[in-house]
Amino acid sequence: MPLTLNNIAKQGEHGSTMMPVIQGVGRAAIEIAAVLRGAVFRGALGGAGSENVQGEQQQLLDVLSDEIFLDEMRSTGFVCAVGSEEQEELLVIEEYSHADYLVLVDPLDGSSNLDVDGPVGTIFSIVKRKTANADRPHVSDTLQSGREVIAAGYVLYGPSTMLVCSVGEGVDGYTFNPSTARFELSHGNMRIPETGGYYSVNESNADQWADNMGAKLENLKAETGLGMRYVGAMVADMHRTILKGGVFLYPADSKNTTGKLRLLYEAIPMGFIMEQAGGKSMSSDGVAVLDLQPEALHQRVPVYLGSTTKVDILLG
């Protein structure tokens, strides 16, 4: 019998309490994958005609995925609030506002790939509230560093749908099996290789990068001879980096002066997964992503995630 998401209950200090929430992520992933597959037939591709809080055009599928994710978090009964890329404010789940956990999510990451049938993903992390259970959850409950995250992960909607997660005891990947309609453990104890791999970055921004990153990347390329791969969806680029090795980066540049990727629902969950897979997650030389103290729900940071050797050469 293959192991399913129930396997999480056996892991770490928080496995049994996290299992229902991660099962909820799994249900959302199955629904989002189905919506993605049928989107072209339902006229669900294209813009929603609205902007999110970051001033980015929302795709219809961003909005749908956000609704699906929120509904599934509500149905777990364990989540008091959700902070989403697609919502300006923290969304309190009124029926369960006394519950213990908050979820931070990018419901559909890499949505610029949608029109070209490219891979996209969902990124999430789970924290325990700081406010008393009797109180209404507050945005301050989300402003916890990556060291306080209890569980995190991502879903990759590629040729198959994969849910990769960690409750702080290594990283496991589960692939959705359409014949059993379950996520089954397919990639146990994922570890990033120290050798080989690729560098992954939008190099067209190189002349605008801050922190002398253009020269630093040239040095990494010269020292390691790494090849380059870039999908433009963080989930797909990170998944390849974990499986094949190398480094994924999104530095600050003159357009995105504090970086592009969001700390709470992109950098921290991916940083958590990368560290749990044996790699390194930095936001600048000497500052780990997981040590940053968040100041705002939609804050952006530079990221350098990959094998320890490659990140050290890059930032050194």
Interface ranges with ligand AHM (CB under 6 A): 56, 85, 106, 109-111, 202, 232-234, 237, 250, 260
Q: Is the dihedral of CA 263, 289, 239, 312 positive or negative?
A: positive
Give the one entry of Mg ion, ligand AHM, none that residue 302 binds, where binding means its C-beta sits below a cut-off of 5 to 8 angstroms depending on kind. none
Question: Least distance to Mg ion from the beta carbon of 259, Å?
Answer: 12
Which pair of tokens denotes residue 225? 């001879």
CB 227 within 8 A of CB 198: yes
Residues 103-142 that bind Mg ion (CB under 5 A): 106, 109
User: Which residues does 187 contact at the CB level (< 8 Å), separation at least 6?
Assistant: 162, 164, 172, 173, 174, 175, 243
Residue 172 interacting with Mg ion (CB under 5 A) = no
Provide the 10 A C-beta neighbour count for residue 56: 14
SS (H, E, C) 186-203: EECCCCCCCCCCEEECCH
Judged on CB neighbours under 10 Å (0-12, 13-18, 19+), 41 is: exposed
Angle at 133 between CA 132 and CA 137, to 5 degrees: 80
State how far Cα 230 lies from the chain centre: 16
Give the one entry of ligand AHM, Mg ion, none that residue 56 binds, where binding means its C-beta sits below a cut-off of 5 to 8 angstroms depending on kind. ligand AHM
Which of 276, 260, 307 is CA-nearest to residue 165?
276
Q: Which is nearer to Mg ion, 106 or 141 (CB)?
A: 106
Give the one entry of Mg ion, ligand AHM, none that residue 111 binds, where binding means its C-beta sits below a cut-off of 5 to 8 angstroms depending on kind. ligand AHM
Give the one entry of ligand AHM, Mg ion, none that residue 202 binds, where binding means its C-beta sits below a cut-off of 5 to 8 angstroms depending on kind. ligand AHM
Q: Which is nearer to ligand AHM, 85 or 172 (CB)?
A: 85
Q: Which is nearer to ligand AHM, 47 or 178 (CB)?
A: 47
Q: Which is nearer to Mg ion, 112 or 212 (CB)?
A: 112
Q: Which is nearer to Mg ion, 109 or 141 (CB)?
A: 109
Give the one entry of ligand AHM, Mg ion, none that residue 275 binds, where binding means its C-beta sits below a cut-off of 5 to 8 angstroms depending on kind. none
Nearest residue relative to Mg ion (C-beta) = 109
- Residues near Mg ion (CB under 5 A) are 106, 109
